[in-house]
């Protein structure tokens, strides 16, 4: 996808759909894998941190970080998603520690080094301009965390080769962390050629 309006339309109602796929999935293995991913991210979160969740989606991770004592700002492209996030924060009595706003990861409205930690989970593979999205995430703080997760085609435009790109970025940005599920990491090391074929398929 490279049309922002199409992307916005696609993600309307996405929050409720993705909750049933991840956090409250009826499939134990899927729920387990996503829980492990969340815990990997949470290991970087400390009480009192000022954290940005860039592309917060359904807000699950934002709320988890707030529960650990961080001050969290969640930004998402979709107005309905942000509304869901605000509602869930109130339901969990976390409105004082987490706020949500509509925004574009490619144009983050924050000053340089504004945050102690920036989390961008399952996001940059969906933005029209990958390099622009990454540069925006980088400039708002010196420490970034991109959680790549499981290889999936559920959304129709996941690009597995981003794992390769993030490894290349590690050569220049020592404070970028790429977290993959054990399943994704195994596949990454075993099926590199398959990733390249998927890349060509998705970009056609």
Report the pLDDT value the prediction gives residue 41, as an integer from 0 to 100: 81
- On whether the CB atoms of residues 64 and 42 are closer than 8 A, the answer is yes
Rounded CA separation 71/56 (Å)? 14
Encode pLDDT of 19-36 as tens digits. 545 556 566 666 666 677
Higher pLDDT, 181 or 41: 41
CA distance 126 to 2: 9
Q: Tell me the two tokens of residue 135.
A: 């540069």
Query: In the sheet where 71-76 sits, what is the strand order?
Result: 98-102, 71-76, 50-54, 117-121, 144-147, 176-179
CA distances from 20 to 28, 71, 89, 160 (A): 12, 26, 18, 23
Instruction: Pick the closest to residue 54 from 5, 95, 103, 14 (CA basis).
Output: 103
| 170 has a pLDDT exceeding 50 | no
Average pLDDT, the chain: 69
* φ, ψ dihedrals at 6, nearest 5°: -65, -40
Residue-level pLDDT at 202:
45
Q: What is the pLDDT of residue 92?
A: 95
The domain tally of the chain equals: 1
Cα-flanking dihedrals φ and ψ of residue 189, to 5°?
-80, -20
pTM above 0.75, yes or no: no
User: Tens of pLDDT along 71-120?
Assistant: 999 999 888 889 989 999 999 999 999 999 999 888 888 888 888 888 88
pLDDT band at 192 (very low <50, low <70, confident <90, very high): very low
Q: Is the pLDDT of residue 43 over 80?
A: yes
160 by Cβ neighbours in 10 Å (0-12 / 13-18 / 19+) ranks as buried
% of the chain residues with pLDDT over 90: 22
Per-residue pLDDT for 135 more than 60? yes
Q: Residue 185's domain is classified under what CATH number?
A: 3.40.50.150
Residue 177 phi, psi dihedral angles, 5° rounding? -120, 135
Of the two residues 133 and 7, the one the predictor is more confident about is 133
Structural domain containing residue 91: 4-203
């Amino acid at each position: 996808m490279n049309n922002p309006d199409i992307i916005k339309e696609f993600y309307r109602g996405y929050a409720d759909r993705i909750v049933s796929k991840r956090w409250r999935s009826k499939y134990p293995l899927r729920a387990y894998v996503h829980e492990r991913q969340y815990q990997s991210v949470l290991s970087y979160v400390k009480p009192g941190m000022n954290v940005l969740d860039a592309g917060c989606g359904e807000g699950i991770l934002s709320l988890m970080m707030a529960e650990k004592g961080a001050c969290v700002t969640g930004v998402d492209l979709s107005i309905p998603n942000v509304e869901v996030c605000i509602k869930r924060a109130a339901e969990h009595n976390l409105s004082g520690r987490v706020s949500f706003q509509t925004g574009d990861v490619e144009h983050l409205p924050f000053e340089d080094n504004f945050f102690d930690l920036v989390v961008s989970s399952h996001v940059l593979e969906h933005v029209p301009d990958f390099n622009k999205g990454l540069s925006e995430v980088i400039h708002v703080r010196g420490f970034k965390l991109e959680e790549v997760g499981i290889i999936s085609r559920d959304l129709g435009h996941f690009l597995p080769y981003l794992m390769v790109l993030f490894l290349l970025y590690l050569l220049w940005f020592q404070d970028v962390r790429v977290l993959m599920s054990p399943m994704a990491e195994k596949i990454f090391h075993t099926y590199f050629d398959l990733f390249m074929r998927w890349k060509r398929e998705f970009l056609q």
